[in-house]
Amino acid sequence: MMSEKIQTLLEALPYISKFAGSIFVIKYGGAAMEEESLKKEFAKDVALLKYVGINPVIVHGGGPMIGRLLKDLQIPTRFVNGLRVTDEKTLEVAEMVLSGLVNKEIVKNINDMGGKAIGLSGKDGRLLMAKQVEDRDVGLVGEITSVDVAIIKDISRHGYIPVIAPIADGVDGKAYNINADTAAGSIAAALSAEKFILLTDVQGVMGADGKLISVLKRSEIEKLIDDNVVTGGMIPKVTCCTEALKGGVREAHVVDGRTPHAILLEVFTDSGIGTEITGD
């Protein structure tokens, strides 16, 4: 009888050899970024991916942390269609929290687990350029106009793990906060990543019956939004998966970040978890 441990390792082998050298863009957010034990497990997963030859690229959110500091500073805040309305003060707080506190904490956690992480924002190396979102009254919330992934490729090639805060330089000279899902999707597309994985606090994308959709076709997404089955914060997620797939990403996954080691389970086992979004 083979031990379970050996079986698990052997099950991972074909995936390790299949994915060695490829890029995975991971949108990090929700409980996996808030709970101490989950933070550590996430950092371990990321370090392990790098050690087996996969190039993880982390793009993180931080909405709740921004919200907390805004509250402490008594700056009022509101959302339109899942996007935070951002005036200049809010943007300053968002940039401080995202590029400073949150980004460096993730970098530290990954480093503590033996990875070599480097924190960046969309401003570094002009990775992300943006303009003001046109169709909604959300202030300094940007929509990406260009992505230059040269810096990510350079860093990854030298053994580092890029950790990216979703702040961009505006073509008008202002700074913009970009929805982290959208930023991650654009970066995944520009890199033609092998996988684009979004961690969130639900099992995956739920259908009209409230049950998990295991496999979702790109062509089915618009109807889910039109029918109000996908709403709020799930809209930028499924939309950015569409964009990523159009840009050449092979597979997009929305997975439950509350499950410890969700990434390893998704990548290295035969039975994935969450919702896989396919390109057809």
In the bound complex, what is the minimum distance in angstroms from residue 106's beta carbon to Mg ion?
17
For the beta sheet containing 175-177, the strands, ordered from the edge strand earlier in sequence to the opposite edge, are 142-147, 128-132, 167-170, 175-177
Which of 56, 142, 204, 233 is close enough to bind Mg ion by CB under 5 A? 233
User: β-strand 251-256 against 117-121: which pairing, if any?
Assistant: unpaired
Is 257 among the residues that bind Mg ion (CB under 5 A)?
A: no
Which of 99, 184, 179, 169 shows the shortest CA–CA distance to 130? 169
Which of 159, 180, 175 shows the shortest CA–CA distance to 54? 159
Which of 91, 40, 36, 101 shows the shortest CA–CA distance to 65? 101
User: β-strand 161-165 against 175-177: which pairing, if any?
Assistant: unpaired
In the bound complex, what is the minimum distance in angstroms from residue 71's beta carbon to ligand ADP?
17
Stretch in the footprint of Mg ion (CB under 5 A) among 98-106, 154-162, 190-198, 232-240? 232-240
Is 62 among the residues that bind Mg ion (CB under 5 A)?
A: no
Answer for the pair 122, 128: CB distance below 8 angstroms, yes or no. Answer: yes
Binding site for ligand ADP (CB under 6 A): 29-30, 61, 82, 200-202, 205-206, 229-234
Q: Residue with the closest Cβ to ligand ADP?
A: 233
Residue 206 near which of ligand ADP, Mg ion, none (CB within 5-8 Å, type-dependent): ligand ADP
- Our CB check for ligand ADP shows the closer of 50 and 185 to be 185
- Our CB check for Mg ion shows the closer of 97 and 113 to be 97
- Our CB check for Mg ion shows the closer of 81 and 269 to be 81
In the bound complex, what is the minimum distance in angstroms from residue 160's beta carbon to ligand ADP?
25
In the bound complex, what is the minimum distance in angstroms from residue 262's beta carbon to ligand ADP?
12
In the bound complex, what is the minimum distance in angstroms from residue 150's beta carbon to ligand ADP?
27
Q: Which residue ranges make up the site for Mg ion (CB under 5 A)?
A: 233
